[in-house]
Amino acid sequence: MSQAQEPVTISIRAKAGQRDLIDQAADRLGRSRSDFMLEAACRQAEDVLLDQTYFALDAKGFTAFQDMLDNPPAPTDRLRRTLKAQAPWAAAATAAKTASRSGK
């Protein structure tokens, strides 16, 4: 993902019914059409990319991996902090929402 924070234009064509559905949902959330669509598209893009992560293990590694899943270590303070931390892409989305609401 580009590190540049300068806005770019993304254009799409939609049917009137699709636009109306998006507008209705965006309105319910107090969001603009653009903000609503961009957030939904980014969320879907993250899901697709996360679901497409692939790694390969040999039989011994797979057995060890299964064992770790079946017998996870006890939670630590570091793990608890990590689980409470906001994902980097979520932090970026929050910053973008704040900026769009403040008119920046």
pLDDT in tens, the chain (104 residues): 555 688 899 999 999 999 999 999 999 999 999 999 999 999 999 999 888 877 889 999 999 999 999 999 899 999 999 999 988 777 766 776 666 666 65
Q: Are the C-beta atoms of residues 35 and 97 closer than 8 Å to each other?
A: yes
Residue 6 pLDDT: 87
* Rounded-to-integer distance, Cα 34 and Cα 23, Å: 9
Residue 4 pLDDT: 65
Identity of residue 96:
A
Residue 66 pLDDT: 95
Q: Provide the token pair at 64.
A: 């060890």
Residue 36 pLDDT: 96
